[in-house]
């Protein structure tokens, strides 16, 4: 298994993890007032972007080619 394949698996696992966490959080917050939703979703979006950017940065630093 190449290094690229390992990072593809890491990205796939991260995507599935985000899906599961997102479903759980949406169930918990489904009855939350709108101001909670307006405060929470931008933070969740930022954390998602940071997570993907971190994985891509690490992959680009470790994959030669």
pLDDT in tens, 5-49: 888 899 999 999 999 998 999 899 889 999 988 998 899 999 999
Predicted TM-score (pTM) of this structure? 0.73
Domain boundaries, the chain: 3-62
CA distance 47 to 32: 20
Residues 6+ apart with CB under 8 A from 36: 29
For the chain, the first-to-last Cα distance in angstroms comes to 16
């Amino acid at each position: 298994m190449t290094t690229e394949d390992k990072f593809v698996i890491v990205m796939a696992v991260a995507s599935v993890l985000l899906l599961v966490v997102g479903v759980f959080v949406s169930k918990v917050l489904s009855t939350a007032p709108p101001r909670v939703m307006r405060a929470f979703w931008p933070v969740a979006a930022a954390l998602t972007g940071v997570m993907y950017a971190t994985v891509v940065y690490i992959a680009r630093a470790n994959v030669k080619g």
